[in-house]
Amino acid sequence: MAEFVTAVAHSNIALAKYWGKRQVQGNLPAVGSLSMTLSGLYTRTSVRLNPSLNQHTIWVVDAEAPNAFAERSKHFIDTVRQMVDSDAYVEVRTENTFPTGAGLASSASGFAALALATTEAYGVKLSPRELSGLARTGSGSASRSLFGGFVEWHRGALEDGSDSVAEPIAGPDHWDVRMLVVITSEAEKQHSSTDGMNLTRDTSPYYDAWLSTSPQTLKDMKAAVLARNFDRVGELTESSCLQMHAVMLSARPGLLYWNPATVALIHAVRAERAAGLGCYFTIDAGPQVKILCRPEHVERLRERIENVPGVIRILEAAPGPDARVERA
């Protein structure tokens, strides 16, 4: 039997957010986005062809069964299988170093690692750009997890999506900043982001405003990251996050991803900032709060927020590396 191929991909957090699809098929985004890849928070996925199987077997370590990621993975693997016109099914073992499905972008690192490991296992050679486009079809934000450092995912305009791929704008060594990931719930999220995005597009009176303001935010964010302008990046990060949550909240029924601890953390971050500590929050489709800060402020900030009611634990990440295949 073939050997397992193992790939590792890191999670990413958008500083300029993606919300909304210009086409659901292939996860083509309505807006471009920009993220930071996270060191320490990653998915490790091993794949091998197994001729004795008559369907794919997916084992998600520590996941509750049935697992939504496992089901989506099967369709994803079939697209790769069709590329090479193979009859072979695969065995997959995948493991996250952080909670699955709670707004922590586990589908981003998950589909990026799966794209890399599956193409290697089937012997398909793709460029990083093509791998990013493939990962996007599993989960939009996965397109960004192929690359380390600071990454832009282009909206693109082509119907086949071939121009909607991510590319690194600066590597992990460009800027020594930190992202604290504050966990306030370890429950699986209730709605898929696709359902949330469709509901927002179909019912929010503010959706067009979100589409028209996002490109400028992205442009400003890119310039601020390249200039390492911390306060500018922080201000744009909070603004993009709050604009995204405003459009989510204005759907009918409104999408509210926050819990009381999420709100308490927003206030805590702003209070620390008023007291002179440079820190800025961002929140995705879940209740966790991610805080952008400088390395020298991590300890002080941890002390201030660990006692906020509802905080379960705090993870810390620096800009992380590219996705890669691990050779035994």
Record the tokens describing residue 96, joined without a space.
């996250």
Crossing angle of the two packed helices 298-305 and 260-274, in degrees rounded to 10: 130
- Nearest distance, CB of residue 15 and ligand PMV, angstroms: 9
Q: How far, in Å, CA of 162 to CA of 136, rounded?
A: 11
Which residue, 151 or 279, has its beta carbon nearer to ligand PMV?
A: 151
- Nearest distance, CB of residue 241 and ligand PMV, angstroms: 9
- Nearest distance, CB of residue 251 and ligand PMV, angstroms: 13
- The DSSP letter of residue 173 is G
- Nearest distance, CB of residue 143 and ligand PMV, angstroms: 8
> What are the residues facing 59 on neighbouring strands?
93
* Residue count of the chain: 328
- Nearest distance, CB of residue 141 and ligand PMV, angstroms: 3
Which residue, 166 or 180, has its beta carbon nearer to ligand PMV?
A: 166
Q: How far, in Å, CA of 307 to CA of 58, rounded?
A: 38
- Nearest distance, CB of residue 6 and ligand PMV, angstroms: 23
Which residues fall within 8 angstroms of residue 300, CB to CB, at 6 or more apart?
Answer: 277
Record the tokens describing residue 196, joined without a space.
């949330």
Binding interface with ligand PMV (CB under 6 A): 14, 17-19, 33, 107, 139-141, 193, 284-285
- Nearest distance, CB of residue 103 and ligand PMV, angstroms: 7
- Nearest distance, CB of residue 70 and ligand PMV, angstroms: 16
Radius of gyration of the chain (CA): 19
- The DSSP letter of residue 144 is G
Which residue, 220 or 284, has its beta carbon nearer to ligand PMV?
A: 284
Which residue, 4 or 257, has its beta carbon nearer to ligand PMV?
A: 257
Record the tokens describing residue 316, joined without a space.
């810390």
Which residues fall within 8 angstroms of residue 85, CB to CB, at 6 or more apart?
Answer: none
Q: How far, in Å, CA of 277 to CA of 230, rounded?
A: 12
Record the tokens describing residue 188, joined without a space.
């699986």
Which residues fall within 8 angstroms of residue 65, CB to CB, at 6 or more apart?
Answer: none
Which residue, 37 or 141, has its beta carbon nearer to ligand PMV?
A: 141
Which residue, 96 or 193, has its beta carbon nearer to ligand PMV?
A: 193
Task: Give yes or no for a contact between 17 and 33, defined as CB atoms under 8 angstroms apart.
Answer: yes
Which residue, 12 or 118, has its beta carbon nearer to ligand PMV?
A: 12
Crossing angle of the two packed helices 106-122 and 68-83, in degrees rounded to 10: 30
Record the tokens describing residue 232, joined without a space.
């500018």
Parallel, antiparallel, or unpaired: how do β-strands 289-293 and 279-282 relate?
antiparallel
Residue whose pair of structure tokens reads 């990013």 in the numeric block: 132
Which residue, 33 or 217, has its beta carbon nearer to ligand PMV?
A: 33
Which residue, 242 or 277, has its beta carbon nearer to ligand PMV?
A: 242
- Nearest distance, CB of residue 125 and ligand PMV, angstroms: 25
